[in-house]
Amino acid sequence: MSFLYKSEPVRGARWAELFAERAPDIDFHIWPHIVDPSQVLYLAAWQPPEDIVQTFPNLELVFSVGAGVDQFDLSRIPEHIPVIRMIESGLVAGMVEYATLAVLAAHRDWLTYANQQRSEIWQPMPVRTADTRRVGVLGMGVLGQAVLEKLRDFGFQCAGWNRSERSLPGVECFTGEHGLADFLARTDILICLLPLTDETRGILSQKLFRQLPQGAMLINLGRGDHLVEDDLLDALERHHLSTAILDVCSIEPLPDGHPFWHHSRIMLTPHIASMTQADTSAEAVLDNLRRHREGLPLVEMVDRTRGY
């Protein structure tokens, strides 16, 4: 039996070492080097190969090397083959670090000071304490809850919205369409950590922005297609939103000449908020392989009815 890895090669080399130590009975291969496709029982990929079923007729598990699976065409993977998304401690820690950095930068007017520096302006802004700022996270999955727990410890007034009900100590939780309106109305800094589905595509739009308080700030750490870019530019132009910090864009890399590049109220990073770490991600995969062999429930298996 074989495990095929199709993603970043440096991480793959480390996985190969760990598989040799922890699961020597599994032949580990890095794409495109495949000895016998019929022996491939397990596949890990950012984007799987074409004709996955015809190519690997005995496939039993598919792993995404990222937290999302929107890059997968799930209709081409038979329903009897579980698809597992990557939620591992290193990835979670990285997202918590970035989200904390972004919230503190928004909270303490970091982008304003960066613009002032370029213009040789020395102008202090009023300093607000964390307990006067309301932060809200769209999406209370593993990543969203971890981010909220850290921000709560800074003293921010924290809230989260989720499709299904959630409960988190010290965090005001909202659910459903009515809950979304109430959630947005009390949010000064909005963080998007939603999965990308047909329902959430384009959710960061004029309709949503109008429900935020005047001067609210946006941090998008989900997917670029969550955001309607022209609506963001309009909201910033009208000063309804004051700042946007974007780690993801609809087209990556961002094209030359795109208005986001030089916008004074937008900060960009190149989809680096969090990255799957080699050692901890391999541990997560190996644990699920053990569970699969022992007939135990798999961790982070995708619910195809929801798309995540």
In angstroms, the CA 65 to CA 102 distance is 24
Measured between alpha carbons, how far is residue 100 from residues 152, 153, 156, 243 in Å? Answer: 10, 11, 11, 16
Which of 285, 258, 308, 234 is closest to 15 using CA atoms? 285
The SS3 assignment for 46 reads: coil
Active-site pick, 11, 29, 133, 223: 223
Hey, how many other C-beta atoms are within 10 angstroms of the C-beta on 44? 24
In angstroms, the CA 22 to CA 257 distance is 49
Q: In what order do the strands lie in the sheet with 40-45?
A: 27-30, 2-6, 40-45, 61-64, 83-84
Which of 8, 30, 6 is closest to 19 using CA atoms? 30
Contacts (Cβ under 8 Å, ≥6 apart) of 95? 143, 146, 147, 193, 221, 273, 274
Asked about 223 being catalytic, the answer comes back as: yes
In angstroms, the CA 252 to CA 37 distance is 32
Active-site pick, 271, 291, 292, 304: 271
Asked about 271 being catalytic, the answer comes back as: yes
Give buried/exposed letters for 110-149 (b at 16+ CB in 10 A, else e): bbbbeeeeeeeeeeeeeeeebeebbbbbbbbbbbbbbbbe
* Contact of 41 with 3, CB cutoff 8 Å: yes
Residues known to be catalytic: 223, 271
